[in-house]
Amino acid sequence: MEGTLLTVRDLVTAFPLKRRGLFEKRRYLYAVNGVSFDLREGETLGLVGESGCGKTTTGRSILRLIEPFSGKVLFDGVDVATLGANGLKAFRRSAQMIFQDPFASLNPRMTVGEIIEEPLIVHNLYKRKGERKEVVASALRRVGLEPDYMYRFPHEFSGGQRQRIGIARVLTLNPKLIVADEPVSALDVSIQAQIINLMIKLQEELNISYLFISHDLAVVEHISTRVAIMYLGKIVEIARAEGIYNNAQHPYTKALLSAIPVPDPRSGIKAHVLRGDLPNPVDPPSGCAFRTRCPVAETVCSRQTPELKQVEPEHLVACHAL
């Protein structure tokens, strides 16, 4: 296995809430509450959870698009939190992000060429316009689009094509890490597979590591080397993809897996259906956050927060029932 590219330890990101009274203590919403994981070079970590569980905030905190509250993010051995303006800019050259909504993430007033060229201008990479144009053309070809598209505007393209444009834009910087925040959830199913296959191809060619954020286990299965399941700001289970899909241990993971639709009308509906909604993250349940919806919850679950324990090599689970 290659070296570790990204190390995240006890990452906490909190948003201050509006004070309701003058004397009320300021309260915080802990969107990310002690997340730790490693990402190796050239691998993909799938980060899965319901909406509101903090997976997007995790990705954005790692890139310092939001300032984390506490915890450590080491990228290539460098602590990201301590970077000054210049260091941060250099970090952003090698750690990039692909966004969820391909309709909102491209500036409607810029041509596709200007959009893809922008990273080169920001990082002062190619001085001459002609050189930059060549880079743009090759980036477009790399993601399977015509170089001529650089003269058009984003609104002339379909969702899948726009997502390819977004990928081409970050590729110009040759990043080592790409945080992909639900890159396919806004696309049609048939297009989703195309984009994921493109991402896998690029990973093989350029040795990029992905942090692939998604709410859909079925999507993540195809691309991930390892998968982490998040619930209410915490990772509840993390393992190699086979470990999650064939040998899930945490009751939440089991429930998520059983919710993947099976394309067979005779298979029937499986039992593990979760009741209730995600608890209010402002006021999370004591102990194990999942206990309010857990089919196997016991009294210990309300008193003690479960830690991640190794159940087999490279397979960690946070549950008292094990």
Partner 1 sequence: MNEGKSRNYARAANLIMRNPLTVFGLAIIVVLFLLALFAPYIAPYPEQGQGLSNLQERLRPPSLIHPLGTDNLGRDLLSRIIYGARVSLKAAIIVVLIVIGFGAPLGLIAGYFGGKTDELIMRFADMILAFPSLLLAIAIVASTGPSLLNALVAISVPWWPWYTRLVRGQVISLKEMQFVESARALGASKLRIMFRHILPNCLSPIIVQGTLDMGYIILCLASLGFLGLGTQPPTADWGVMVNDGRAFLLTQWWISTFPGAAIFVTVLAFNLVGDGLREALDPKIRWRFQRA
301, 68, 177, 243: CA torsion to nearest 10: 0
Q: Site mask, partner 1, residues 196-225, x = CB under 8 A?
A: ------------------------------
Number of residues engaging partner 1 in binding (CB under 8 A): 31
Residues 17, 24, 65, 298: which binds partner 1 (CB under 8 A)?
65
Instruction: Considering the complex, state which of residue 20 and residue 109 has its C-beta at the smaller distance from partner 1.
Output: 109
Residues 18, 20, 26, 109: which binds partner 1 (CB under 8 A)?
109
Taking alpha carbons only, the member of 241, 159, 158, 167 closest to residue 198 is 167
Distance, in Å, from the CA atom of 220 to the CA atom of 198, rounded to the nearest integer, reads: 14
Measured from the CB of residue 47, what is the shortest distance to partner 1 in angstroms? 17
- 122 scored as a contact of partner 1 (CB under 8 A): yes
Residues 56, 100, 161, 192: which binds partner 1 (CB under 8 A)?
100
Residues 27, 72, 93, 133: which binds partner 1 (CB under 8 A)?
93
Residues 17, 78, 104, 322: which binds partner 1 (CB under 8 A)?
104
> What value, to the nearest 5°, has the Cα angle with vertex 67 and ends 64 and 70?
110
Segment near partner 1 (CB under 8 A), from 24-32, 73-81, 111-119, 263-271?
111-119
| Sequence letter at residue 307 | E
Side-chain half-sphere exposure of 83, counting CA atoms within 13 A: 22
Instruction: Considering the complex, state which of residue 50 and residue 114 has its C-beta at the smaller distance from partner 1.
Output: 114
A 10 A CB-CB count for 207 gives 13
CB 6 within 8 A of CB 39: yes
Strand order in the sheet with 309-312: 95-98, 177-181, 209-214, 44-48, 226-231, 234-240, 315-317, 309-312
Query: DSSP string spanning 219-249?
Result: HHHHH-SEEEEEETTEEEEEEEHHHHHHS--
Measured from the CB of residue 111, what is the shortest distance to partner 1 in angstroms? 6
Residues 89, 141, 303, 309: which binds partner 1 (CB under 8 A)?
89
List residues near partner 1 by CB under 8 A: 63, 65, 88-89, 92-93, 96-97, 99-101, 104-111, 118-119, 122-123, 148, 151-153, 156, 166, 169, 173
